């Protein structure tokens, strides 16, 4: 009986410890709300925008190079 009681006490006392143990704090809520995807979308738009801009800069430069070559 004493042993069972000890066991119950042990479980009850250690329960909060086991339940807590969150490790380091991470953006789990953000992720479960799906909001991290907003960030990914925003940064993705920035990146794609830059790529498009670079692409058009390349085209402009190529035109300039051609003009110079055909002079």
Partner 1 sequence: MVLKGFWWKILCMALLSYTILAGFLGVVPRRFILNESIRNLYFHVPMWFGMIFLLLASSVASILYLKKGKNRHDRFASQAANTGIVFGILGLVTGMVWAKYTWGSYWSGDPKQNASAIGMLIYLAYFVLRGSLEDPQKKARISAVYNIFAFAMLIPLLFILPRLTDSLHPGNGGNPGFNSYDLDSNMRKVFYPAVVGWTLLGFWITDIRIRISKIEEALDYE
Could you list the residues that contact partner 1 (CB under 8 A)? 23-27, 36-37, 39-40, 43-44, 47-48, 51, 54, 57-59, 61-62, 64-65, 68
What whole-number distance in Å separates Cα of residue 56 and Cα of residue 62?
10
In eight-state DSSP terms, residue 68 is H
Closest C-alpha to 56, from 48, 67, 46? 48
The residue (of 13 and 68) whose beta carbon lies closer to partner 1 is 68
C-beta of 3 vs 71, nearer to partner 1: 71
* Closest distance to partner 1 from the beta carbon of 32 (Å): 13
Distance CA 49, CA 56 (A): 11
Q: Considering the complex, state which of residue 11 and residue 52 has its C-beta at the smaller distance from partner 1.
A: 52
């Amino acid at each position: 009986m004493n042993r069972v009681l000890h066991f119950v006490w042990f479980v009850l006392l250690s329960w909060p410890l086991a339940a807590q143990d969150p490790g380091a704090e991470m953006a789990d809520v953000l992720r479960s709300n799906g909001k991290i995807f907003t960030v990914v979308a925003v940064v993705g738009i920035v990146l794609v925008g830059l790529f498009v801009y670079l692409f058009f800069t390349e085209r402009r430069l190529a035109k300039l190079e051609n003009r110079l070559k055909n002079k």
